[in-house]
Structure 1
Amino acid sequence: MKIYVMRHGQTDWNLAGKAQGRTDIELNDTGIEQAKQTKKQIDNYKIDLIICSPLKRARKTAEIINEAINCQIISDERIIERGFGNVEGKTDDEWKKIFGDNTHAISNYYLNFNEQNIESMRDICERVWDLLDEIKGKYKDKNILLVTHGGTCRAINAYFNGIDEDGYVQSVKINNCEIIEYEYK
Structure 2
Amino acid sequence: MGCRLFLVRHGETVWNAQMRFQGHTDVPLSPRGIEQARALAARLQREKFAAFYASDLKRAVETARILAAPHGLAVETLVELRELHFGAWEGLTGEEIRNRYAREVEQWWGDPVSTRVPGGETLLEMLERTSAAVCRIVERFPGQQVVVVSHGGPIRALVARVLGMNLRDYWRLVLYNASLSILEFSSWEKGVLTLFNDCSHLERGAC
Query: Normalised by the size of structure 2, how large is the TM-score?
Result: 0.82
Does 2:105 align with 1:110? no
How many angstroms does 1:42 deviate by? Answer: 0.8
Moved more, 54-63 or 68-77: 68-77
Residue in structure 2 matching 1:125, options 124, 127, 142:
127
Task: Note the C-alpha offset of 1:48.
Answer: 1.7
Counterpart residue identity of residue 89, structure 1: G
1:152 matched to 2:154: yes
Report 1:1-185 matches (<5 A).
1-100=3-102, 103=105, 105-107=107-109, 108-113=111-116, 116-170=118-172, 172-185=173-186
DSSP 3-state at the match of 2:24:
coil
**CA-to-partner distance for each residue in 1:158-182, whole Å, 9 max, x for gaps?**
2321224333332x22111111011
- Structure 1: gaps of 5 or more residues: none
More moved, 155-164 vs 3-12:
155-164
| Distance (Å, rounded) in 1 between the aligned partners of 2:151 and 2:47 | 20
How far, CA to CA, are the matches of 2:154 and 2:71 in structure 1?
24
Deviation at 1:101?
6.3
For residues 98-125 of structure 1, the C-alpha deviation after alignment (integer angstroms, 9 at most, x for no partner) is: 23265365354313236x1231011011
More helix by share: 1
Seen in structure 2, the aligned counterparts of structure 1 residues 105 and 169 have a Cα distance that, compared at 3 Å, is: farther
CA shift, 1:50, in A, is: 0.8
Please give the secondary structure, in 2, of the residue aligned with 1:169. Answer: helix
Aligned-partner SS, 1:33:
helix
Task: Report percent identity of matched pairs.
Answer: 26
Give the 4+ runs in structure 1 shifted more than 4 A.
Answer: none
Structure with more strand by fraction: 2
- Greater RCO between the two (CA within 8 Å, min separation 6)? 1
Q: Separation in 1 of the partners of 2:79 and 2:86? A: 15
Amino acid at match of 1:52: A
Aligned residues: 183
User: Using the alignment, how far apart are the partners of 1:93 and 1:153 within structure 2?
Assistant: 24
Q: Which runs of 5+ in 2 are unaligned?
A: 187-207
